Structure 1
């Protein structure tokens, strides 16, 4: 488990100190794949370096499995650092080594025997989907493949925690999915706790269990991804859910329009049609769309509603776990959730 308590970190600036982190507290459960999301300059990389014991905070505490790491030094600091792997945003591979040789480098430094080293490298290449590339050089690989080599290398020494700083930066959308899949497999198959710092909301939506949102060095939101997606007005919902853009002329065809968030196969597939039939109302999707959080379908629709039992239909939908928000101003601006 990673526990960050009231972390504050600043750096010298030209005119005044630059505050990278401001009283940030985050808890990452053991074995989780946890996202820290925010724009450039929000403090994500500084938080990662503090957890990795590469930076000392001005104030606050970092605990790894309950151990207060803030005051560690010497041999104890080195021992704890070996349990924490870091994948930098722009990792550098050894150009003169093969893929297998790059992954083996940390194991050679640890003095691991040849057969054990080869077995470990083989397992990691399989995890990263690179078995067929073992004898190639980095220059022969795509950006996404090189990132997966770096990821496999960071896992070589068997860390308990992996801190991945913008692991999909500079990688095309198709290859980014393969990089994220390796992070997910590391968590599932190796039991590694993964903290993913990223600007990419799609990466969080695809693989993360929980998420924290940073802005200007401050924590503005944290929780499980699905909980925050179902919370109207949350930063995570604004970032990860499909955008809604409905022309006013289209909305004017209905008695009212509402925004509905549906989570799960049953809700997405059946809740609106069942409500329409049960209450004899028209529920028409006029905006929004469908996405996935991991394997869970999540929809945000703008729905046009006609019918005398519209209020009863919307209340019935909300009672069954949907989140229904009336976006219009005026007397109808209420939340039924």
Structure 2
């Protein structure tokens, strides 16, 4: 478990101090895959470095499995640091070594003997989907494959925590999924607690259990991804859900219109058609779209409803777990979200 309490960090700037973190509090359960999102300069990398014990905060404390790291020094600090692996945003591989040789570096530094070292490297290459490329050099790999090598190397010493700073940065979209799969497998198969930082909402949707939003050094939202997506006021939800861009004229042809968030197979697949049949209303999707959070389908639709029981139908949809937001002044007040 990672617990961050009132973490504050500033740097000396040219004109004034730069406040990278401002009283940040966050808790990542053991075995979770937690994402920290935010724009460039919001403090994501600084938070990762503080948790990795690479930098000391001005104030506050980082606890790892309940252990306060605030006063650690010398040998004890080095021991705890070995439990926290870091995948840098721009990892560097040894060009003269093979893929297997790169993954083995941390084990060689720890003095792990040959048979045990080779077994561990083999398992990590399998985890990263690189077994068939074990004898290749980094120059013979794609950018996504090189990132997976660096990820396997970061897991070599069996850390309890992995901090992945922008793990898909600079990688083509078709290769990003492979990197995220390795992170998910590290959590599921090795029991590693993973904290990743990213500006990319698709990364959070694909693999994260929980998420926090950093803005100007402050953690302004945090929670499970699905809980936040179900909250109409959530900034994270607005950035992760499909956008709605519906002209007012398109909504004006309906007795009622509303924005609806549906989570789960049953809600996405059946709730709206059942409401239409149950209350004898015409119900049309006039905006929005469908996405996935992990394996869970999530939809945000703007719907138009015609019929004498339009209000009742919308209330029934809301009663069954959907989040329904209706305009205050009728259909013509609907604007693009």
SS in 1 for 2:170: coil
1:205-244 to 2 correspondences below 5 Å? 205-244=205-244
Q: Distance in 1 between matches of 2:275 and 2:330?
A: 24
Matched, 1:325 2:336: no
1:250 Cα deviation after fit: 1.1
1:113 Cα deviation after fit: 0.5
SS in 2 for 1:226: helix
1:70 Cα deviation after fit: 1.4
Aligned to 1:43: 43
SS in 2 for 1:107: helix
1:74-223 to 2 correspondences below 5 Å? 74-223=74-223
Q: Distance in 2 between matches of 1:319 and 1:252?
A: 25
For normalisation by structure 1, the TM-score amounts to: 0.97
1:275-314 to 2 correspondences below 5 Å? 275-314=275-314
Q: Distance in 2 between matches of 1:331 and 1:284?
A: 16
Q: Distance in 2 between matches of 1:99 and 1:331?
A: 62
SS in 1 for 2:188: helix
1:331 Cα deviation after fit: 6.9
SS in 1 for 2:287: strand
For normalisation by structure 2, the TM-score amounts to: 0.97
Q: Distance in 1 between matches of 2:210 and 2:90?
A: 25
1:330 Cα deviation after fit: 3.0
1:15 Cα deviation after fit: 1.0
Q: Distance in 1 between matches of 2:263 and 2:248?
A: 27
Identify if the C-alpha distance between structure 1 residues 250 and 331 changes in structure 2 by more than 3 Å, giving closer, same or farther.
closer
Q: Distance in 2 between matches of 1:86 and 1:200?
A: 19
Q: Distance in 2 between matches of 1:90 and 1:70?
A: 28
Q: Distance in 2 between matches of 1:23 and 1:163?
A: 20
Aligned to 1:13: 13
Q: Distance in 2 between matches of 1:329 and 1:309?
A: 18
1:256 Cα deviation after fit: 2.1
Q: Distance in 2 between matches of 1:202 and 1:166?
A: 12
Give the aligned CA root-mean-square deviation in angstroms: 1.2
Q: Distance in 1 between matches of 2:168 and 2:15?
A: 34
Aligned to 1:22: 22
Aligned to 2:34: 34
1:329 Cα deviation after fit: 4.5
1:248 Cα deviation after fit: 1.7
SS in 1 for 2:57: coil
Q: Distance in 1 between matches of 2:99 and 2:293?
A: 32
Aligned length: 333
Q: Distance in 1 between matches of 2:274 and 2:257?
A: 18
1:282 Cα deviation after fit: 1.1
The answer on whether the counterparts of 2:95 and 2:139 sit within 8 Å (CA) in structure 1 is yes
Gaps of 5+ in 1: none
Q: Distance in 1 between matches of 2:123 and 2:235?
A: 39
Gaps of 5+ in 2: none
